[in-house]
């Protein structure tokens, strides 16, 4: 036994002596990585600002650190182990595409469009107007012609040629089984961004960049323009109902509503005849994309300018972003595959999306954000009430007296909360599989453990609830 222990100690010593570690202090939040003649053994995400590169002692590794860029290269093929700070974003790119990754996700883009994303134990692919999702929600294929879902609800098929729903006991059993097998076969990849990047870099065709091409070419698109103006009454409600595409609304100084839209298709100009854009005087102004025939392969991207006094009401779309800037109203914003961004606006705000990021910035009024797959970022909002996502990070800054309780919940993601430490509030934070960091914020606690905390800041007051089952919860002090 003693000889075996001595042998193990000697082997460990030899392995330790055969490796050399180099550290690079990186303060930038976004880092471009380039590798030349480098293979990666492992990538680990750690706290701090130091990138650690470990390589064999007998291999020369050159490390070049420029502002926002780190180049690691060798004359001969070398293997390294990387420790990357977890609070930074890393980029690998060339003229054809880009990979962006951090500790939680890998996003591959071709041009400006996200085409592949690994996150939260799932795979999400966007090709033209089609999305494919393998995640906790099931296996979902969705485009304008068909919708297929295999999940714990059962098997649902809705196409131009077939409509079928098997949602009883046997459908749920079969759909759940297929979803379980597929999800768990890919989930471990989605939960290990370092694993994905390692294999991309180690691919023999990789030479410091990434090529992403799903066969789509903007040159194949056929477009058509729409433009109309509308003389609105002060105080009228603006409603936009779009079937497929983005909606952008902003304030301007003129006294009428200006509606511009770009219609796009990859088929033929006859496809435009399958839809109609209607501008109607209903409770103010209603803009609606209407299907004249079944399954039109057309996307409509609205740019709408409104004068002061027009109240933004209901904005609905799918497969596209909703962006609101410098507006007012009781806003109900909903899209099924796309982000929602609202900035510099006044009123009340409810944002819902099933696959996309929600961002609120500089809003006066009550705000609620709900997404099933995406991050939520809130800064400068006077009365945030809820920020809820099932798969994504939540980042919130609170620098004002709370009017109401705030609830933040995610099942797969971290929660980061910036606080003005002079405020009076109660804190209720809990996580199942990570830890809570207070970072110097003083809380008088009534319940405290490594994964939960209940207490008050200063005199106590309205309550902040932060809950996640798979992710850390971090508090920090906002700078004055």
Pairing of strands 394-398, 358-371: unpaired
CA 79, distance to chain mean position in Å, is: 32
Rounding to the nearest 10 degrees, give the CA dihedral for residues 96, 101, 104, 108: 0
Q: DSSP H helical segments within 110-254, as ranges?
A: 169-190, 193-202
Residue 104 DSSP label: S
The alpha carbon of 211 is separated from its chain's Cα centroid by a whole number of angstroms, namely: 22
Residue 283: predicted pLDDT: 65
Rounded CA separation 81/77 (Å): 14
The answer to whether the beta carbons of residues 83 and 46 sit under 8 Å apart is: yes
Q: Can you give the pLDDT at residue 6?
A: 40
pLDDT the model gives residue 55: 86
What tokens appear for 313 in the block?
Answer: 């009401």
Predicted pLDDT at 423: 93
Q: Burial, 416: exposed, middle or buried (Cβ in 10 Å; 0-12, 13-18, 19+)?
A: buried
Distance (Å, rounded) from C-alpha 166 to C-alpha 175?
9
- Sequence-ordered alpha helix ranges (H) in 134-234: 169-190, 193-202
pLDDT at res. 230: 87
Instruction: Give the separation between CA 10 and CA 446, rounded to whole angstroms.
Output: 50
pLDDT of residue 330: 97
Q: What is the mean pLDDT of each run of 10 residues along the chain (480 residues)?
A: 42 49 87 88 86 85 88 86 89 75 84 73 72 72 69 66 58 59 52 78 51 43 92 88 94 95 90 93 84 89 95 92 96 91 97 90 97 89 94 90 94 89 94 86 86 93 92 87
Nearest Cα to Cα of residue 353 among 323, 311, 398, 395: 323
- Under DSSP, the state recorded for 8 is H
CA distance 33 to 264: 36
Query: DSSP 3-state assignment of 365?
Result: strand
Cross-strand partners of 311: 237, 328
- Model confidence, pTM: 0.60
pLDDT of residue 160: 55
What does the DSSP 8-state code read for residue 403? S
What's the CA gap between 328 and 313, in Å, rounded?
9
Q: How far apart are CA 273 and CA 293, in angstroms?
A: 8
Coil, helix or strand for 91? strand
In 3D, which of 336, 400, 388, 337 has the Cα closest to residue 364? 400
Name every residue whose Cβ is closer than 8 Å to that of residue 409 and which is 6 or more positions away in sequence: 387, 388, 389, 465, 466, 467, 468
């Amino acid at each position: 036994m003693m000889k075996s222990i001595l042998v193990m100690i000697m082997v460990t010593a030899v392995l330790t002596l055969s490796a050399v570690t180099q550290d690079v202090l990186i303060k930038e939040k976004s880092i471009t990585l380039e590798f030349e003649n480098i293979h990666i053994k492992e990538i680990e995400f750690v706290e701090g600002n130091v990138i650690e590169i470990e390589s064999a002692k007998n291999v020369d590794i050159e490390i070049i650190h420029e502002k926002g860029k780190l180049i690691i290269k060798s004359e001969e093929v070398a293997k390294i182990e990387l420790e990357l700070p977890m609070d930074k974003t890393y980029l690998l790119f060339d003229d054809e595409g880009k990979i962006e990754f951090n500790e939680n996700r890998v996003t591959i883009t071709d041009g400006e469009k996200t085409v592949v994303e690994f996150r939260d134990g799932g795979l999400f692919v966007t090709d033209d107007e089609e999305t494919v999702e393998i995640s906790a929600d099931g296996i979902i294929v969705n485009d304008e012609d068909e919708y297929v879902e295999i999940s714990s609800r059962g098997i649902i098929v809705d196409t131009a040629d077939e409509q079928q729903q098997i949602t009883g006991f046997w459908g749920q059993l079969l759909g759940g089984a297929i979803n379980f097998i597929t999800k768990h076969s890919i989930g471990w990849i989605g939960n290990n961004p370092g694993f994905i990047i390692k294999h991309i870099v180690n691919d023999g065709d990789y030479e410091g960049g990434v090529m992403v091409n799903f066969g789509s070419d903007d040159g194949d698109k056929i477009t058509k323009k729409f433009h109309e103006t509308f003389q609105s009454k002060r105080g009228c409600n603006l409603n936009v109902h779009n079937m497929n595409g983005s909606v952008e609304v902003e304030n301007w100084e003129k006294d009428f509503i200006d509606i511009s839209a770009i219609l796009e298709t990859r088929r033929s100009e006859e496809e435009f005849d399958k839809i109609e854009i209607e501008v109607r005087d209903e409770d103010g102004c209603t803009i609606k994309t209407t299907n004249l025939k079944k399954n039109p392969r057309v996307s409509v991207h609205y740019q709408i300018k409104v004068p002061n006094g027009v109240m933004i009401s209901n904005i609905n779309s799918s497969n596209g972003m909703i962006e609101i800037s410098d507006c007012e109203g009781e806003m109900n914003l909903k899209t099924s595959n796309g982000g929602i961004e609202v900035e510099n606006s006044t009123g009340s705000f409810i944002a819902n999306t099933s696959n996309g990021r929600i961002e609120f910035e500089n809003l006066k009024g009550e705000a609620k954000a709900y997404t099933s797959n995406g991050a939520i970022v809130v800064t400068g909002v006077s009365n945030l009430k809820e920020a809820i996502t099932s798969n994504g990070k939540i980042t919130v800054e609170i620098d004002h007296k709370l009017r109401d309780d705030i609830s933040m919940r995610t099942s797969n993601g971290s929660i980061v909360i910036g606080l003005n430490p002079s405020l009076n509030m109660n804190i209720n934070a809990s996580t199942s599989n990570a830890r809570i960091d207070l970072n110097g914020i003083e809380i008088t606690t009534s319940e405290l453990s490594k994964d939960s905390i209940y207490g008050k800041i200063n005199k106590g007051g309205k309550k902040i609830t932060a809950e996640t089952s798979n992710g850390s919860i971090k508090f920090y002090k906002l700078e004055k």
